[in-house]
Structures are given as structure tokens and as C-alpha cells.
Amino acid sequence: MLDAAKFIGEAENEILTKLNGKGILACSGGQDSTLLAVLANRAAGDRILTVFVDTGFLRIGEKERVKEIFEKFKLNYLIIDESEKFISRLEGVTEPEEKRKIIGKTFIDVFEDEAKKYGAGSLLQGTIAPDWIESGGGVRDTIKSHHNVGGLPLNMKLKLIEPLRDLYKDEIREISRYLGIPEIVQPFPGPGLAVRILGEVTREKLETLKQATEIVEKSVEENARSWDTMPWQFFAILLPVKTTGIHGDKRTYGYTIAIRMIDSIDAMSGTFTKPPWEFLENLSTDITNRVKGVNRVVYDVTNKPPGTIEWE
């Protein structure tokens, strides 16, 4: 059993010991990096600049939610819109690992720029154990390059500080609760919606996926209270597959949305959620009625393993 108070003391100590002058902190707004931002602020105050990057691959309302938390904890922060840079670098790229590596590299470019402006010598990242284990830093072969590990160039000039690297998600939640950080309902990958649009990412597909994502998240949040447990993650994926459909009495030819809902404790393994059929039926109707260009919804019935949680 983890001793939250003890861990916090040790992490703050590590931050202070390793900090090279000022530090820049990469915050995705997720539970891990938000916890890190709060810890770093407790340890070193304004010597740390917490940076949240709008990649263009965020969900509706995400930036506003993150800003609220930063304000609540009185962080020294910066929110920057780099969406054009991220989207344009992915033009024509379809291979998942290549997408992840480009996104990782772009994050580092942005952080190196901001670090230079701020005069920071260190980069703080909320990497946790599953990130590096699944990125090949552990005993396994590389499964996928999580953006906060695989994307780091070897010649990175900033000194890396990763105080959460031995923790698992349940421990992150426990420490966050202890510090009064609001529970973030579900993890969201650093590369965001870009790895949930299979194949090439375009602005049009991003718009479609944002709408479907909002519908899935709201439906689960409203309905899951009556289920046995809240799924660990629940989201939409846009498939590059068009199928024939019918709307009114007209033929349609539209995209397919896949729904992924998974029960898990630490994201290392999981089983697909078994919600009531009626829930899936309503969700499917909602998506096909409300999201332009989508005429089919499928449900992912794959456990992890063999499937990973994200599709790319």
C-alpha cells in the first residue's frame, strides 16, 4: 500500500534536487501530469512553468477544463495553441508509429522553444510505469511509442525529471485525491484524437470525431452510474471506412465510428465493457443522427490483450 504523504515528500525532494535552475513542465491536463504540476508547484513554485499545448487533437471543452484546474492550484502556467503546426506535420502520414513519433517530436520542439524562452534547464514529465514499459523501456518489445517517451530525441538538451515513473494509475489517483486534485474521469492519450482517427488526420475528420467523442463521453457519464462499475475508458474512433447506408429514403455513403469501452485497473490489461444493449442502441442512434457524415457505428469486443486500448 502506497503512503501518499511519504511519496509526496520524496517527489518534492527529487524535483528540488534535480531541478537545473528553472524548469518547464509538460502538462496534458491528464491525471498524471496534473498531479506532477501540483507537486512541482509545491516544491519549486514559480521556478516551474507548466505548459499545456493545444495540439488541435483535443476534445471539446478540454482547454477550458484544464485552465480551471491550473487556476484553482495557482500554477505558473502557459496555454499555447500549436494546432496548425501539429496538424500540418501529419499531412499525408498514415502509419500509426510514424504519427506517434511525429507528434512526440513536435511536442519536444514546442517544449524546447518554450524552455529557451523561459530560460529553463529541465523538462518535467508525468511519465508513469505503463508508459515506459509499453514503449520498450522495460522487458517487452516496443508495443507503441507513447508520446512522452518514444518521441524524445537523443540530443535533447533539457534535463529530464520524471518523479512519477514508477507509479501505476491507481497510485496516481490515490495521491491526487490526497492533494484535492479533481478526479479526471478517464485517461486521454497525449497524441489525443490523432491516434483515434485511423490513417491520415484531416481537419474534417477531427471535427467529426470531436462531435462523436462528446456524445460517447456524455452518454457514458449519464448512464454508467446504474452499471456495476464505471468503465476505465470510453471513447470513439473514426475509421477510414465508408459504408452504404440509408437516411430517410436516400442512400448515404458515410464514415464508421467504432466505440471502445474497456474495464481495467491500470491500463495494462482489460476486458471490454458489457453495457446494456439499449445503451448501445441509443448511442448509435444519437451518433448517426447528430454527427454529419457518419452512418454506421460498431462496438469493439476485444480485450487487452490481444487488443491495446487505443486503436493506434
Q: Which of 105, 304 has the CB closer to ligand XMP?
A: 304
Report the distance separating Cα 40 and Cα 60, nearest Å. 28
Which of left, alpha, beta for 223 (phi over 0: left; psi -120 to 50: alpha)? alpha
Among 146, 196, 205, 260, binds ligand XMP (CB under 6 A): 146
Among 29, 56, 96, 190, binds ligand XMP (CB under 6 A): 190
Please report how close the Cβ of residue 189 comes to ligand XMP at its closest, in angstroms: 3
Q: Which of 37, 44 has the CB closer to ligand XMP?
A: 37
Residues 278, 281, 286: CA angle, nearest 5 degrees: 125
Residues 4-33 that bind ligand XMP (CB under 6 A): none
Q: Can you list the positions of beta strands (E) in 130-204?
A: 159-161
Report the distance separating Cα 311 and Cα 275, nearest Å. 20
The reply to whether 147 sits near ligand XMP by the rule CB under 6 A is yes
Three-state DSSP state, 222: helix
CB 36 within 8 A of CB 125: yes
Among 96, 163, 187, 254, binds ligand XMP (CB under 6 A): 187
135 is in an annotated binding site: no
The reply to whether 56 sits near ligand XMP by the rule CB under 6 A is no
The reply to whether 302 sits near ligand XMP by the rule CB under 6 A is no
Residues 158-177 that bind ligand XMP (CB under 6 A): none
The reply to whether 191 sits near ligand XMP by the rule CB under 6 A is yes
Report the distance separating Cα 151 and Cα 102, nearest Å. 7
Q: Which stretch, 8-16, 48-56, 72-80, 145-153, contacts ligand XMP (CB under 6 A)? A: 145-153
Q: Which of 55, 288 has the CB closer to ligand XMP?
A: 55
Q: Which of 44, 131 has the CB closer to ligand XMP?
A: 131
The reply to whether 99 sits near ligand XMP by the rule CB under 6 A is no
Cβ within 8 Å of residue 249, ≥6 positions away: none
Please report how close the Cβ of residue 301 comes to ligand XMP at its closest, in angstroms: 16
Please report how close the Cβ of residue 95 comes to ligand XMP at its closest, in angstroms: 15
Report the distance separating Cα 172 and Cα 7, nearest Å. 11
Q: Which of 44, 58 has the CB closer to ligand XMP?
A: 58
HSE of 176 in the Cβ direction (CA atoms, 13 Å)? 24
Three-state DSSP state, 14: helix
Residues 104-143 that bind ligand XMP (CB under 6 A): 130, 134
33 is in an annotated binding site: yes
Size of residue set near ligand XMP by CB under 6 A: 16
Q: Which stretch, 52-60, 160-168, 222-230, 304-312, contacts ligand XMP (CB under 6 A)? A: 304-312
The CB-based long-range contact list for 243-251 (8 Å cut-off, 24+ gap) reads 243/295, 243/296, 245/288, 245/295, 245/296, 247/295
Three-state DSSP state, 165: coil
Q: Which of 216, 267 has the CB closer to ligand XMP?
A: 267
Report the distance separating Cα 302 and Cα 308, nearest Å. 9
Report the distance separating Cα 301 and Cα 260, nearest Å. 8
28 is in an annotated binding site: yes
Binding residues: 28-34
Residues that bind ligand XMP (CB under 6 A): 130, 134, 144, 146-148, 187, 189-191, 233, 267, 304, 308-310
Binding residues for ATP: 28-34
